[in-house]
Amino acid sequence: MILRPLFVKSLVDHVRGTIAWAMGVVAIVAVQLSVYPSIRDSQSEVGNIADAFPEAFQKIFRMQDYTSEIGYLSTELFTATLPLIFLAIAVTWGSRLTTEEEDSRTADIFFTLPLTRHTYTATRFMTVAAVLSIVALALLLSLIIGTELLDFSVPLGRFVAGAWVNLMVGAIFASLAAAIGAWTGRRGVALGVAVTLAIGFFVLYSLAPLVDSIDATTPFNPLQWTIGTQPLLNGFDVGYSVTAIVVTATFVALTFIGFQRRDIKT
């Protein structure tokens, strides 16, 4: 059961932040797209410069055919910039999903109402999902409109896949942060642990092409299940998408269990 007034209140309370994240994504996409025509007009020169980068640098940023439309967008947007934005949104929102009322000293008001913890948790998860979806939609629309104006030839399905994997990056780490917060009752702990894990996974993902021992961890890295599928180049990866959904659902279930068992501090 979703409690509509709580859902609306949660969105309204953070509407400015949501709009800021969405507009930030639109601005970043617009800037990167506006640069590409100059690269397209001087492909040979730019290609030589890109090829001159150290091999390690090229592997970390997955630089493949940098002067092509897909190669450029993959390197400049989907390798690091956009995933880090969605990670930031995820851990920020997820860490306060079940701890915000205690932090703001309003828990005694909320939980004396005829409101079950399951309903509260489900509603807050829907709010986080809505925020991530709004930002992902802003990403998708900015890519579609911008590339149409600049006469790109990237298929629409690749942009949908790109928005989807970034949405799943957010979903995985938001649910992870929520689960930590539900069991500890401390937003600072949830935020700190989730940020540490997010950075750790990102570093492992980035360095995996360079270190054989790290490369062995990629099947267990959430970033491999998402941006590691290279959506602009390969489109949807059904297997990894299912893995990401199952892991997210597991963290969501742990959040419900932890929040139900925990003593709420008022």
CB atoms inside a 10 Å sphere around CB 32: 18
178-210: pLDDT as tens digits:
999 999 988 899 999 999 999 999 999 988 888
Measured CA to CA, the distance from residue 109 to residue 218 in angstroms comes to 45
Measured CA to CA, the distance from residue 224 to residue 207 in angstroms comes to 12
> With b meaning 16 or more CB within 10 Å and e meaning fewer, what string describes 222-251?
bbbbbbbbbbbbeeebeebbebbeebbeeb
What is the average per-residue pLDDT within 67-92? 92
Token digits of residue 14: 């953070």
The answer to the question of residue 206 being in a domain is yes
- The 3-state DSSP class for residue 215 equals helix
Contact criterion met (CB below 8 Å) for 200 and 258: no
Tell me the Ramachandran region of residue 105: left when phi exceeds 0, alpha when psi lies from -120 to 50, beta otherwise: left
Report pLDDT for 111.
60
115-173: pLDDT as tens digits:
788 888 898 999 999 999 999 999 999 999 999 999 998 999 999 999 999 999 999 99
Q: How confident is the model at residue 108 (pLDDT cuts 50, 70, 90)?
A: low
The answer to the question of residue 147 being in a domain is yes
Measured CA to CA, the distance from residue 209 to residue 61 in angstroms comes to 10
Measured CA to CA, the distance from residue 89 to residue 134 in angstroms comes to 12
Least Cα distance to 136 among 158, 162, 155 occurs for: 162
The domain in which residue 58 lies consists of 4-261
For the entire predicted model, the pTM comes to 0.90
**Number of helices (H) and strands (E), helices first, in the chain?**
15, 0
The answer to the question of residue 56 being in a domain is yes
The answer to the question of residue 156 being in a domain is yes
Cβ neighbors of 93 (< 8 A, separation 6 or more) are 127, 128, 131, 132, 174, 177
Total number of domains constituting the chain = 1
Measured CA to CA, the distance from residue 94 to residue 190 in angstroms comes to 8
Least Cα distance to 132 among 184, 81, 92 occurs for: 92
The answer to the question of residue 125 being in a domain is yes
Report pLDDT for 114.
67
Contact criterion met (CB below 8 Å) for 32 and 77: yes
101 or 120, which is more confident?
120
The crossing angle, in degrees rounded to 10, of helices 15-41 and 117-149 is: 30
The answer to the question of residue 266 being in a domain is no
